[in-house]
Structure 1
């Protein structure tokens, strides 16, 4: 906000959380930098943005959260401001439509099928086969995501997935899922602390794709929970070029024209395969781009939203990492956590935000966000220093757990 307010006449539209302390803190921050007003809910955000914009007449609209980017782009398109194309909007909020768009453009995709009921799931498994993965068509942060194997009780799985989806604040409407063939990852690094996938961070302006960097990822925590990653990639240049090319191909297939983009790509024996494409910057990427290249992606997104030239990426300065270690997928409470002093003693640590304390029950059912034990941004002169921190955070030297009480409150 300080950076945007220094360069633009800024007005923030925001949705109160219902937590008076949190909302009062937000008002204080917003008031220090710009004018602001509220919208009642996410459901009618698009209409609220359009109504306000017709009077205020902005040069551009920008949103950062996956919960609002569709409303932002839909409003910008309606107002004749730089936005994503109408073609891309459906695919960006519906993983089934996303797979269809990529398949039509010749981008290799896994087998997939839409699932809206228990009977759909039985039929989809017969078509897609196992192993496969069931996830919401419009899900975020690995919410309500399940592995499906040959012995899975499909009726019980559907009941559990539907309940998780409808019980999550980010879920809306009737349960709508996609079943996809499970992509089998292959190690492309010579260090087993890296996972078999990566993300590509991009900015697209007027249909021109500006790929910024490849982010290597740490290994996943079951079920499909991300623990963060390191930028820039340590993959060989020719392999990085292949990954970047795959991301560009997927972005063009979906018709993305004006947006930040976060593309996740799995390494497989058949080559890179797109996991998903998101019309936003990935978690921690803003900070990593700053530490690695001195690059202000917030400024770049504002440039795209207003039709200004996209800033160029500078030379590499340092390596950077985003760490979000995950709790186990079980009913546990935290028995021990590292202190802020312990974490800040690592020379690479730039910022720490503790999520849970001793005695808390991590809400791993809420996906990556609920399972995150601590949020750390770090930078160093080598990737090895950042891998060492990741290894520490994944060990019992950092976090330990005790059996939980299913009746206890988080």
Structure 2
């Protein structure tokens, strides 16, 4: 049995349940203050048992003497609870400190800076005052959160003052020095942002799965998609992998898959953040590219199994494209049908996230996209051509309502 502390994250319930079958199935643990997870309970019950628990004791009693083979999560907000459960049962997982370092952006940056893995000024926002010690331009983002939610850039004190009324008064935010990017070619694609996907087993072994390219941001700071894998036989790739390994050691990450984001700056790559879980979209991209099935791998690592001797060489490339609303849009007026989008060569999946008439807002970050579009190709050049065809289709067929 696998226990998954569930929240809306990087892996859907059906994929979790399927990967848990070799272990006798899955128990989904939902925290009662997680509104999105509670709303998903009817779906979760289709794939496994569901336990609602707000404490270790409540969860252990609900399991009624059953001891799981592994405990894990695919969502940032559940890392601490998952860590606590794994430690209770003596299973591989994160220490209490490691779970906090992977959840709290201030604590993580302080740890990375202290370990010499970067030097990026970061400070909490208090009382709506921009903190001393963080130069402009800066990134304003939630202290805990994922997917570019409530994230924006500010270049001046005036921009900061304009932004503050738009943020949630009951949420903690941080200011971090903005890292200027330098476009770097990976094949035919240009990017200043990548991530390294790595697997770690309970014996401390690290094996890097691959490098993921991040597509350019939509204003103000929303992801527009990712490409896996990209390879570049150069010193840059070696530096990325070395930094990823150093970050894994710094935050004492054990037993699982990490998703470490980098900005490619003029002085080389700089770590943006270390995520203690699989990156969003990669549960579909990795198998499509022919490398690994990462959800099953994450469960094997949570159960204490060693890393495989090697990962398969990719046979192609896959893209998760986010169809994001324009900045300033407040509602969707018209969209192409999923069938129309699937007619573009190379598209192997279209998931509708927001329907016509629904409100949209940049503060939702990556989660506010209207479609997930999944594309594959044999080469990066062909993949990029298919992305351009998607964008041309969306430009012709999509309409938005804007703020007045």
* TM-score, L = length of structure 1: 0.85
Q: Does 1:345 align with 2:363?
A: no
Gap change, CA 1:202 and 1:48, over 3 Å in 2: farther
Does residue 369 (structure 1) correspond to residue 367 (structure 2)? The answer is yes
Tell me the matched-pair count: 383
Pair 217,154 (structure 1): closer, same or farther in 2 beyond 3 Å: closer
Corresponding position: 1:180 with 2:198: no
* Residues 20 and 259 (structure 1), Cα distance of their counterparts in 2 relative to 1, 3 Å cut: closer
Name stretches of at least 5 consecutive residues in structure 2 with no aligned partner.
Answer: 1-15
Counterpart-to-counterpart distance in 2, 1:394 and 1:211: 32
Matched, 1:389 2:386: yes
CA–CA separation in structure 2 for the residues paired with 1:289 and 1:226 = 19
1:87 matched to which residue of 2?
Answer: 97
Name which of structure 1's ranges 135-144 and 228-237 shifts more when overlaid on structure 2.
Answer: 228-237
Matched with 1:37 is 50
Deviations 1:206-244 (A, max 9, x none): 232221010011111011111111111143443222112
Corresponding residue of 1:24: 42
What's the CA shift string for 1:119-163, capped at 9, x where partnerless? Answer: xx33x1x32120011111112211221212224254553332234
Any residues of structure 2 matched to 1:40-51 within 5 Å, and which?
Answer: 44=54, 46-51=56-61
- Residue 215 of structure 1 corresponds to 212
Alignment CA distance shift 1:11-1:144 (3 Å): same
Deviations 1:234-271 (A, max 9, x none): 43443222112111111111111122111100000011
TM-superposed CA distance for 1:355, in Å, is 1.9
Equivalent of 2:356 in 355, 358, 362: 358
Q: Report matched runs for 1:7-406 at 5 Å.
A: 7-15=22-30, 23-27=41-45, 29-30=46-47, 34=48, 36-39=49-52, 44=54, 46-53=56-63, 55-118=65-128, 121-122=129-130, 124=131, 126-152=132-158, 154-163=160-169, 166=170, 175-189=171-185, 194-206=190-202, 207-311=204-308, 312-370=310-368, 372-395=369-392, 396-397=394-395, 400-404=398-402
In the alignment, the residues of structure 1 paired with residue 316 and residue 94 of structure 2 have an alpha-carbon distance, to the nearest angstrom, of: 32
What is the deviation of 1:332?
A: 3.5
**Structure 1, unaligned stretches of length 5 or more?**
167-174
Q: 1:103 Cα deviation (Å)?
A: 0.9
Quote how far apart the aligned CAs of 1:199 are.
0.9
Shift of 1:19: 9.8
1:54: how far off?
Answer: 6.5
- Mean Cα displacement is larger for which, 208-217 or 360-369? 360-369
SS at match of 2:364: helix
Q: Is the 8 A contact 1:69 1:279 kept in 2?
A: yes
Give distance in 2, aligned partners of 1:46 and 1:138: 21
The answer to whether the Cα contact below 8 Å between 1:334 and 1:399 also exists between their aligned partners in 2 is: no
Q: Deviations over 1:380-405 (max 9, x none)?
A: 11112221232234445355333346
Partner secondary structure for residue 267 of structure 1: strand
The 8 Å contact of residues 142 and 367 in structure 1, kept in 2 or not, is answered as yes
1:343-384 CA distance string (max 9 Å, x none): 2122311221012333333243222102x1211222211112
**What is the RMSD of the two structures over their aligned residues, measured on CA atoms?**
2.5
Deviation string, structure 1 residues 86-138 (Cα, Å, up to 9, x no partner): 331111111111011111111113111122322xx33x1x3212001111111
Distance 1:20 1:132 in 2: 35
Whether the aligned pair in 2 keeps the contact of 1:47 and 1:75 (CA below 8 Å) is: no
* TM-score (normalised: structure 2): 0.87
Determine the C-alpha separation between the residues in 2 that align with 1:208 and 1:256. 11
